[in-house]
Amino acid sequence: MAEPRVEILCVGTELLLGDILNGNARWLAEQLAALGLTHYRQTVVGDNMERLSSAALEAASRCDVLITTGGLGPTPDDLTTASLAAAFTTPLEERGKLWQEIRAKLGANGRPVAESNRRQAFLPRGAEVLPNPVGSAPGMIWTPRKGFTVLTFPGVPSEMRAMWSATAEPWFRAHKGSSGVLVSRQLRFTGIGESTLAEQVPDLLELENPTVAPYAALGDVRLRLTARGDNEAAASRLLDPVEQELRERFGPRCYGMDSDTLPSVVLRMLREARETLAVAESCTGGGLGAAISTIPGCSDVFQGGVIAYCNAVKQSLLAVPANALSVHGAVSGPVVRAMACGIRDRLGTDWGVAVSGIAGPGGGSEAKPVGMVYLAVAGPDGCEATLERFGSRRGRQAIQQLSVIRSLDRLRLRLLSRR
């Protein structure tokens, strides 16, 4: 059995307008990769019957399986099922048993069931129901023509994922052929740009199995390693030497893998050392503490912080000397060192991290331009301050985000140096 060609069709005008991010396509792509299936096209179509029908017919000319998400439900803009039926000139039929199940789900809370919900019980002739265990809108598995199958899912992520796990994934496992499995790992790097990283691994980027591909976000570069094998163990064995080579080439620049983040890595290192952390922030406005607190269970390590924009707050809560502020200014090495030491002393933690800078768009000068940020890390072995120049073109939000990333990385490198 040959590997099926798969495409993803996402339905919703809100996706085209940018009102919501298309997380469903990303999640579905990950699930297909985990099954060893590759797909080569993703399409987004608004809530328009003609364009939906046209997109389905185009997909039928190219692929074996089309996965749709969105456009299932009781409202007038839920057009996916009707559009697919029209594309393949197949009549819709009401499924009486399905309507009873939908009514039972909707009426479970005691509210009256609107007649508009009845449209969810209409499916093309010959389609099988794809049950929705957590919602009312069912999907379907339908083969409107030989060699072409459509699987439809609601746009609500929780419903789509539950339906995939319960029904669609077993269907794909039974129909995916003998293509083996794909296994991926994602190495994460910081303090190095995507182009610089790629320049140091040109030989690895040319590999065919496994493959190595760079991906970049602000302050965070990733290399995705993917291998195909007869089984998961075989594919993993292909990845091992490539991962080892990358770690040797980049050393501490590689901070983690897969779901690791800088906050999660730093917290894990502190937890292993049985040490605690507090933060003092000026230009990041709480962003550093917010990044740390996204990690569940952080409170056993992260004690808290102070957001100190006003000089009087720096003096009263962080014990920053008035002389340091008057001579050097709030954005300076001496002041940020005093902030880091002050928060460490005030909260009684092992480590204190401080940030002070000019995030813009105003407030800069020739001596201290927008994008100039001082970072300090105070710990059992002393306090170090560093100067970062992020530039004014990035914008306020990017400067704040980079300040958070570099602060956490400075702490990570300090912790590494003590091992």
Asked if the model's pLDDT at residue 263 lies above 90, the reply is yes
Q: Compute the radius of gyration of the chain from its Cα atoms.
A: 27
Q: State the Cα–Cα distance between residues 351 and 408, nearest whole angstrom.
A: 12
Least confident of 102-111, 264-273, 358-367: 102-111
Question: Alpha-carbon distance 49 to 163, whole Å?
Answer: 24
- How much is the pLDDT for 32? 87
Report whether pLDDT(30) > 90.
no
Query: pLDDT value at position 33?
Result: 79
pLDDT tens digits for range 312-364: 999 999 999 999 999 999 999 999 999 999 999 999 999 999 999 999 999 99
Considering only residues 178 and 104, tell me which one the structure prediction assigns the higher pLDDT: 104
Query: What's the rounded mean pLDDT across residues 115-137?
Result: 93
At the top level of CATH, which class does the domain 181-257 belong to? alpha beta
pLDDT of residue 28: 95
Cα angle, residue 86 at apex, residues 85 and 89 outer, rounded to 5°: 85
Within 224-332, where are the H helices? 232-250, 262-273, 287-293, 311-318, 322-328
- Measured CA to CA in angstroms, residue 240 lies from 4, 30, 193, 233, 251 at distances of 28, 21, 24, 11, 16
Query: What is the C-alpha separation between 320 and 261, in angstroms, rounded?
Result: 31
How many Å apart are CA 383 and CA 414, to the nearest integer? Answer: 10
What's the pLDDT at 216?
87
Neighbours of 297 (CB within 10 A): 9
Average pLDDT over residues 389-409: 96
Does domain 262-417 fall under CATH 3.40.50.1700? My reply is: no
Does pLDDT of 1 surpass 60? no
Evaluate if residue 2 carries a pLDDT over 70: no
pLDDT at site 177: 65
Q: Which two tokens stand for residue 228?
A: 């195909």
The whole-number average pLDDT for the span 101-111 is 82
**pLDDT confidence bin for 108, thresholds 50/70/90:** confident
Total residue count of the chain as it appears in this document: 419
Q: How far apart are CA 66 and CA 56, in angstroms?
A: 8
Handedness of CA 231, 237, 258, 351 (dihedral sign): positive
**DSSP letter, residue 299:** G
Residue-wise pLDDT tens digits, 209-260? 999 989 888 999 999 998 988 888 999 999 999 999 999 999 999 999 999 9
87 phi-psi bin (left φ>0, alpha ψ -120 to 50, beta other)? alpha
CA quadruple 43, 27, 259, 391: dihedral sign = positive
Report how far residue 392's alpha carbon sits from residue 88's, in angstroms, rounded to the nearest whole number. Answer: 55
User: Domain coordinates of the chain in residue numbers?
Assistant: 6-175, 181-257, 262-417
- Mean predicted confidence (pLDDT) in 113-123: 89
Neighbours of 89 (CB within 10 A): 8
What pLDDT does residue 76 have?
A: 87
Single-letter code of the amino acid located at 243: E
d(CA 398, CA 107): 48
Mean pLDDT score of the chain, rounded to an integer? 93
The mean pLDDT of 296-324, rounded to a whole number, is 97
Query: pTM for this one?
Result: 0.78
Which pLDDT score, from 0 to 100, does residue 183 have? Answer: 85
Question: What does the pLDDT read at residue 296?
Answer: 96
In tens, the pLDDT along 153-193 reads: 999 999 999 999 999 889 988 887 656 777 889 999 999 98
What would the pLDDT profile of 320-333 be if each residue is shown by its tens digit? Answer: 999 999 999 999 99
Name the packing angle between helices 262-273 and 396-417 (round to 10°). 30
Q: Which two structure tokens, joined as six digits, stand for 322?
A: 């008035």
Whether 83 contacts 9, CB under 8 Å: no
pLDDT class of 146 with cuts at 50, 70, 90? very high
Confidence of residue 388 (pLDDT cuts 50, 70, 90): very high
Q: Output phi, psi for 362, to 5 deg.
A: -105, -175
Architecture of domain 6-175: 3-Layer(aba) Sandwich (3.40)
If you search the block for the tokens 């598995």, which residue do you land on? 141
Of 358, 410, 409, give the one whose Cα is nearest residue 220: 409
| Cα–Cα distance for residue pair 189/222, rounded to 1 Å | 6
| pLDDT for position 178 | 58
Question: What single-letter DSSP state applies at residue 297?
Answer: T
Q: What is the DSSP letter of 166?
A: I
pLDDT category, 3, cuts 50, 70, 90?
Answer: confident
Pairing between β-strand 382-389 and β-strand 220-229 as defined by DSSP bridges: unpaired
234 phi and psi angles, rounded to 5 deg: -65, -40
Q: Which DSSP string corresponds to 145-158?
A: ETTEEEEEE-SSHH
